[in-house]
Amino acid sequence: MKEYLTLEQLDQIGLPPIIPYAVPIMLTLVLIEWIISNYKKRKVYHGKDFLAASAIGIGNIIAGALVKAATFGFALFFYNLVPWTIPSTWWSYILCLVIIDFCRYWAHRIAHEQRFWWATHVTHHSSKQYNFSVSFRLGWTQHIKIIFFIPAFLMGFHPVVFFICHQIEVLYQFWIHTEFIRKLPKPIEYIFVTPSHHRVHHAVNDKYLDKNYGSTLVIWDRMFGTFQPEEEKPVYGITKPVNSFNPVYLVFHEWMDIFRDIRKSGSIKKSFRILFGRP
């Protein structure tokens, strides 16, 4: 018989803080990348851009802490909704990683195809630079995308297994935000998302737009027709540049534009198109 969980029980179990433990390593790699870029006289880092990314990253941590109870409660609701559970064994972690990665592919793809979800994600793409610190630029409203992971909860993965695997998925994103790692051996490039793949995703070149949504595995892009190898040199940013280093504006500018457009729309039908049409 499945044991139903409560928030108090989940809090007592606790979650290994994988990302906080990794922060010193991440900051060290940022420093190393900055030193190498200066030594090679490459303008990989921009002072104000880096400070904006750092401020956005700190804000995202605070936002995550503020909605932690709501996030856990959401996960528990759907986990408790079904009578079955997947045992917490070594293979369940591997399976959970794959399922989460599949969900992240579609969450990411939809965030590029519907304006409402783009508003939660555009912050990450707003930099014209491409370096490790860009991985810190995560919108403060991105936490509502937990709804895309309902299938994982309904499959019966224990919330602790889910959140550990999700931390690993998020942490994986750090190392692919760099120009200093070129293409890797073909077997790796064929299965996993690499810096080369993700450079394409962050580029505004016509042939690169809306490609390579994969999080850890690039096989989803290959399966669903969104894969594009890196060929010409990427030009980073978004098609409508923000031209600001204000972290609050970088997080909320698209939301403000949406609300302004809805106010002017004059009808529910047009408002719906504004929200869920293409950005």
Residue 1 placed within a domain? no
Residue 76 placed within a domain? yes
Residue 133 in contact with residue 30, Cβ under 8 Å?
yes
pTM of the model: 0.94
Residue 131 placed within a domain? yes
3-state secondary structure of 78: helix
* Residue 243, both tokens: 């031209």
Residue carrying structure tokens 């098609």: 239
3-state secondary structure of 244: coil
Number of domains in the chain: 1
Residue 25 placed within a domain? yes
195-250 pLDDT, tens digit each: 999 999 999 999 999 999 999 999 999 999 999 999 999 999 999 989 899 999 99
> Residue 200 and residue 231: Cα distance in Å, rounded?
9
Residue 140 placed within a domain? yes
Residue 59 placed within a domain? yes
Whether residue 107 is predicted with pLDDT greater than 80 in this model: the reply is yes
Residue 2 placed within a domain? no
Residue 129 placed within a domain? yes
217 has which bridge partners? 192
Structural domain that includes position 78: 7-276
- The packing angle between helices 247-265 and 115-125, to 10°, is 160
* Residue 136, both tokens: 């810190």
Mean pLDDT rounded to a whole number for the chain? 94
123-165 pLDDT, tens digit each: 999 999 999 999 999 999 999 999 999 999 999 999 999 999 9
Q: Is the backbone of residue 241 left (phi > 0), alpha (psi -120 to 50) or beta?
A: beta
